[in-house]
Amino acid sequence: MIERLRAAVAAVPDPELGVVTIKDLGILREVRIGSAGQAVVTITPTYLGCPALDLIRADVTAAAHAAGYAEVEIVIALTPAWTTDDLTPAAAAKLAAAGIAPPGARHLPLLAQGPVCPRCGSGDTGELARTGATACRALWHCHACHEPFEHLKRH
């Protein structure tokens, strides 16, 4: 039964980056059964003021209900803090396939000219706007293929 719960919750899409799940994004920290038989799901927001947090809670609750749990407890864990290093390799691949340049790993320096274009792979890119569709993304332009793209900022 716990496997069904884990699978259901792990499949919840991130409402702002719909191509990745909360598991891919790395905000799903723990799924367990509480002492009273309730589903207990621990998540860490990408940042404290994340506007999608209420929607994520609702979607996780709905997924747990669909997995057969009437009672659901959502635990918000603020430590350790979420970073883009928590993204899975699957998340980076899904983001790039959707035209969003994933951030580099924290231990790797950013390319001097910016992120690699997710469309053509060129590193010849430039920032157009510090904030994109959400505060966690920036708008960039590829000088090689001339296409704009979003870049998930390293956090």
Lowest mean pLDDT among 7-11, 15-19, 45-49, 79-83: 45-49
Q: Tokens 């999608």 belong to which residue?
A: 52
Query: Taking 60 as the threshold, does the pLDDT of residue 112 lie above it?
Result: no
Share of the chain above pLDDT 70, in %: 94
pLDDT digits (tens, 9 = 90+) for 3-16: 999 999 999 999 98
User: Smallest Cα–Cα separation from 14: which of 36, 43, 38?
Assistant: 43
Give the 3-state DSSP-derived string for 83-145, with helices as H, strands as E and coil as C.
CHHHCCHHHHHHHHHCCEECCCCCCCCCCCCCCCCCCCCCCCEEEEECCCCCCCEEEEEECCC
* Edge-to-edge strand ranges of the sheet holding 39-43: 28-33, 39-43, 72-76
* 3-state SS class at 7: helix
For the record, the structure tokens of 81 come out as 């803090």
Phi, psi of 139, rounded to the nearest 5 degrees: -100, 125
Residue 48 has a pLDDT of 81
Going 102 to 58 to 46 to 90, the CA torsion angle's sign is negative
How far is it, in rounded angstroms, from Cα 17 to Cα 125? Answer: 22
The structural domains of the chain, ordered by start, are: 2-82 (3.30.300.130), 87-152 (no CATH)
pLDDT digits (tens, 9 = 90+) for 122-133: 989 999 998 888
Share of the chain above pLDDT 90, in %: 72
